A and B are shown apart, each in its own frame.
Chain A
Amino acid sequence: MIRLVFAVLAGGLFGAGLLVSGMTDTRKVQGWLDLFGNWDPTLAFVMGGAIVPMAAAWLLSKGRTPSLGGTFPAAAPTVFDRPFVMGSVLFGVGWGLAGLCPGPALASLSFGGTSGLVFFAALVAGFAVAPPVRRTLDGPAKAA
């Protein structure tokens, strides 16, 4: 139960942070990506601000275990395979098209109107079809 309480708190603080930082405003996100237009540097401050406490948390996690038990997640092996590269490109294209990524899409679900709901439905569909797409991409690579 206590795990769920802290999960709600973390999710809520994440959502509030996305709202306060302006990252639920697609104009600011597309503005960050708009190097040849009206460039908006806000996202760099958000990313910088988020990385500092997170880096401290990773340092604190060394030689310890999580407060509520279990183990800290190990770093994924440093592999740059086809799904990783193609996935990152696809994500970037979608991010640029609408100015939404998964966190802000969820944080803005209550006030994003029809546009937000349509994006969210497509996002969920994308999540659902990703495993078979991965198997297709992995198939020929492993056979080769």
Chain B
Amino acid sequence: MHMDWIYGLLGGLMIGCAGAVFLLVNGRVMGASGIAGSLVDGSAGKAKGERLAFVIGLIAVPAVIVLLRGGASTYATTNLAVLVAAGLCVGVGTRLANGCTSGHGVCGISRLSMRGIVATLIYIGAGGVTVAILRMMGAL
């Protein structure tokens, strides 16, 4: 448990390097909601192939690692109503806001984008209030 921050830092560096490659080589911003969302609503245009390839890598590589090493779980709730509500909120919200933790958070903050910084403060604030309410209700 006390080693978690080292894995966090290491994984974070990997995430940042992935974003750096996608930017410097492909010339694209690594935002998960923009990449996946544009494939769903058909707004990806010429970037469609690259975005699909990105999503395939994003799903397949963790799948292979977990297949080889095992033991991974999301420990997510099994309450279907909560999962559906959460998925809808994240889907609609990230597309309206034009970004999520990777787009506004990682890619936005790193270029000192005011939109990225403000969005991150808003969604962390809203998430904090939500978790506080869940805790008060005894759901956590």
Contact = CB atoms under 8 A, between A and B. Distances in A.
Contacts, number: 475
A45 to B, nearest CB: 4
Given A10-B57, A36-B135, A49-B15, A25 B91 contact: no
A94 to B, nearest CB: 3
Interface in B75-131: 75-78, 80, 82-98, 100-102, 104-107, 109-111, 113-115, 118-119, 122-131
Contacts of B16: 17, 49-54, 57
A119 B18 contact: no
B: contact size bracket: 35 or more
Nearest to B60: A12
Interface of B is mostly: helix
A143 interface: no
Contacts of A112: 73-74, 76
A141 interface: no
Question: Among A95, A104, A114, which residue has the most Cβ atoms of chain B within 10 A?
Answer: A95
Contacts of A26: 74-77
Nearest to B71: A111
Interface of A: 3-28, 30, 33-37, 40-58, 60-61, 65-73, 75-76, 78-80, 83-116, 118-131, 133-134, 137
Closest CB pairs A-B (n = 4): A126-B91, A21-B11, A49-B12, A122-B87
Given A19-B66, A76-B115, 5 more contacts: A10-B25, A16-B61, A21-B7, A85-B97, A95-B127
